[in-house]
Amino acid sequence: AQKVTQAQTEISVVEKEDVTLDCVYETRDTTYYLFWYKQPPSGELVFLIRRNSFDEQNEISGRYSWNFQKSTSSFNFTITASQVVDSAVYFCALSEAPASNTGKLIFGQGTTLQVKP
């Protein structure tokens, strides 16, 4: 069965610190997608990134970077020089192989990040 584990329930940092949010997943599929979503206090989930299991290249987008390691089934998310506006709940998610493609996402429990000024 598919499963996503975000072991960190809450993280608190001071502005400008770097912070890494951990995500470990389980799947029997050989192809799959991994995602990160952000849920700010307003409540609406915002898509951040999708990564295909074939592509293990790390990705950087501004202050955000993602480290995908298939060998350890991890897809960690790092925010560099955190800002107060980064305060949110962050969800890691997994979807099944594109070929069967219901597109259903299995979410982790989320990590609440608080960035203090």
Which positions touch other proteins (CB under 8 A)? 33, 35, 37, 42-45, 47, 50, 91, 93, 95, 98, 101-110
What is the smallest separation between the CB atom of 10 and other proteins, expressed in angstroms?
A: 11
Burial of residue 50, with CB atoms counted within 10 A of its CB: 0-12 exposed, 13-18 middle, 19 or more buried = exposed
What is the smallest separation between the CB atom of 15 and other proteins, expressed in angstroms?
A: 25
Give the other-Cβ count within 10 Å of 115's Cβ.
20
What is the smallest separation between the CB atom of 81 and other proteins, expressed in angstroms?
A: 27
Give every CB contact of residue 85 below 8 A, 6+ residues apart in sequence.
115
Specify whether the CB–CB gap between 6 and 92 falls below 8 A. Answer: yes
What is the smallest separation between the CB atom of 116 and other proteins, expressed in angstroms?
A: 21
CB of 16 or CB of 104, closer to other proteins = 104
CB of 42 or CB of 71, closer to other proteins = 42
CB of 14 or CB of 46, closer to other proteins = 46
CB of 70 or CB of 104, closer to other proteins = 104
Give every CB contact of residue 76 below 8 A, 6+ residues apart in sequence.
20, 21, 22, 23, 66, 67, 69
Q: What is the DSSP letter of 8?
A: -
